[in-house]
Amino acid sequence: MNIITDELKLLISITLTALENNETKLRTLCNEYLQSYSFQSVYEALLQLHLFAGYPCSLTALSMLYNEFQQINPKSSIVDIIDNEPYHFQTYKDRGLKTCELVYTNTFAPLMAKLKEYSPQLQEWMLIDGYGKTLSRNGLSIQQREILVVSVLLVQGWKKQLYSHLRGAKNVGCSQNVLLELLSFGNEFFSPSNRQYAQEVISSLYE
């Protein structure tokens, strides 16, 4: 990925506005998005938010999105639009391993070993629920998903996870220019200290 498209910029704004719990602005942004782009992409962006901001955030945002969708398409059902795949444990496990390895590359095995030491439950949930059931779904590319994850972590200030996902964004094909553009685009959301930290990490990753 060499550029942040107008669509992705809007998805970032929607995601971070949901994180702020600004319902009025979120409705406006969702309506704007639905006028030009697909429901499934913004649905996926808000669905994956539960992994990093909790169910209350994701549930509230998805309800706002649904209300805007119904106003524009009163006779349509989202069931016919979204990826409504059946639950399948082995599928989630297999593709979770594949996606997680793609993001973490040579740090994947040490990460799994360390995580298993202090929480075997979280290790399994990260692979199955996080990477398999959620981040490997259709509707968004892995590059788009990593950019959205980085955006959320930039707001929250979780530095270890931010480092991992900046590195992950690089590993899945995001250019240095894209990550630097993200920092500039997100000025209204990112604190100066978090942005400075991210700039330093990006410079070290691409040197």
Looking up tokens 């900046």, which residue turns up?
166
What CATH number matches the domain at 6-85+137-206, 1.20.1290.10, 3.40.710.10, 3.30.70.890, 3.40.1710.10?
1.20.1290.10
For 97-131, write each residue's pLDDT tens digit. Answer: 999 999 999 999 999 999 999 999 999 999 999 99
Per cent of the chain over pLDDT 90 is 92
> Taking 80 as the threshold, does the pLDDT of residue 90 lie above it?
yes
Task: Tell me the pTM.
Answer: 0.96
Instruction: Calculate mean pLDDT across residues 58-66.
Output: 97
Mean local confidence (pLDDT), 135-160: 97
Q: Cα-atom radius of gyration of the chain, to the nearest Å?
A: 17
Question: What is the rounded average pLDDT for all residues in the chain?
Answer: 96
Domain ranges of the chain: 6-85+137-206
- CA pair distance 25, 11, nearest whole angstrom: 13
Report whether pLDDT(79) > 90.
no
Structure confidence at residue 80 (pLDDT): 86
* For the chain, percent of residues with pLDDT exceeding 70: 100
Task: Provide the 3-class DSSP secondary structure of residue 107.
Answer: helix
Q: Are 147 and 4 in contact (CB under 8 A)?
A: yes
Q: Give residue 57's pLDDT.
A: 98
- Determine how many CB atoms are found less than 10 A away from the CB of residue 73: 13
Summarize the confidence of residues 128-143 as an average pLDDT: 97
Strand positions, DSSP E, 9-139: none
In terms of Cα–Cα distance, which of 106, 112, 118, 113 is closest to 131? 112
What is the tens place of the pLDDT at every residue in 18-52?
Answer: 999 999 999 999 999 999 999 999 999 999 999 99
Give me the mean pLDDT over the 82-105 stretch.
95
